[in-house]
Amino acid sequence: VYKRQGRLQGRSVAVVSGDENQADTDAILVPELHERGIEVADTAVNDVIGTDIPAEDTLWDVIAERIRSAGADAVIVNGDTTAAIRGIVRNGLDVEVWVLEQGQLASLGDSVDRDDAEGTITIQGLTDTEAWDEPLMQQCRQVFGDANPDVVVEGPDEVALEAPHWNTALGQACREVTLFELIATAAGPVLTPDSVRAAADGLGEFSLPTVPNASLGPGKPDANDSARLTVWDSTAGEDGRLVALTEITDLTP
């Protein structure tokens, strides 16, 4: 997505990872940024336990000063999103913020104002509304509704913010069951670890509910090839939400 959208080209970037994400940051993220010609001005690690907010804030005072001194105009956050947004706002950093774990934007917690996340960019597939209305998902919803006529699952634009979002769980179940069906059908009547692996490796390109572009092959265990840039809009919905910034990109290798 970075390469195809090109939004980080020519930028000076600081990368801040959580302690649990440091290995991936060092082994994958930073080398990929270098390969794309994106300058990494500084890297830092938040190794403070997330429940110790004062310690996190103290550490982020130092990290923020390093980012400012390095002249970075964008910050990529790989983990510990709440602490990062709080630290960037508290220290008045004028930077564009990119978050790799988009799910953390939906659960920022009480220690940060959700408005402070305004403009934060992340990577996502279909929006919740798009995923709910996607054709394969509509078919799955129909099957579930026919089998459970007394169960009402409200869509993302209907369910109350504080209510359980069963639509999310239904989407996950539809994806997993469909993927199992595809692999099991390709593997044949005798399912063994070897036959399932061979079937997955030979599956190629396909679509899943809520995932229009997907593929599996040797050395590729993640099927999702649908991604786009999204941005946090604090005025969307009841309490803010991610909205599309670009069109879906097909990342099939």
Query: Beta strand 204-208 with 211-216: parallel, antiparallel or unpaired?
Result: antiparallel
Can you tell me the distance from the alpha carbon of 246 to that of 90, in angstroms, rounded to the nearest whole number? 29
Tell me the average pLDDT across 190-202: 96
Tell me what pLDDT residue 43 has: 95
Can you tell me the distance from the alpha carbon of 6 to that of 70, in angstroms, rounded to the nearest whole number? 22
Residues 6+ apart with CB under 8 A from 55: 48, 49
pLDDT in tens, 66-97: 999 999 999 999 988 999 999 999 999 999 99
Q: Is 241 exposed, middle or buried (0-12, 13-18, 19+ CB in 10 A)?
A: buried
Tell me what pLDDT residue 101 has: 86
Nearest to 181 by CA among 203, 211, 213, 166: 203
pLDDT at residue 15 is higher than 50: yes
Phi, psi of 202 (to 5 degrees): -100, 10
- H-assigned helices in 126-192: 128-133, 135-147, 166-187
Can you tell me the distance from the alpha carbon of 86 to that of 60, in angstroms, rounded to the nearest whole number? 9
pLDDT at residue 108 is higher than 80: no
* Residue 5 pLDDT class (50, 70, 90 cuts): very low
Can you tell me the distance from the alpha carbon of 128 to that of 156, in angstroms, rounded to the nearest whole number? 6
Q: The whole model's pTM is what?
A: 0.79
Size of the chain, expressed as the number of residues it contains: 253
Can you tell me the distance from the alpha carbon of 199 to that of 42, in angstroms, rounded to the nearest whole number? 43
* Residue 128 pLDDT class (50, 70, 90 cuts): confident
Can you tell me the distance from the alpha carbon of 171 to that of 168, in angstroms, rounded to the nearest whole number? 5
Tell me what pLDDT residue 156 has: 86
pLDDT at residue 2 is higher than 60: no
Better-scored residue on pLDDT, 41 or 156: 41
Tell me what pLDDT residue 3 has: 46
Tell me what pLDDT residue 6 has: 58
Is there a contact between 229 and 237 (Cβ–Cβ < 8 Å)?
A: no
Q: Could you count the other beta carbons within 10 Å of the beta carbon of residue 29?
A: 19
Can you tell me the distance from the alpha carbon of 246 to that of 5, in angstroms, rounded to the nearest whole number? 8
Phi, psi of 42 (to 5 degrees): -165, 155
Mean pLDDT (the chain, rounded): 90
Is there a contact between 50 and 56 (Cβ–Cβ < 8 Å)?
A: yes
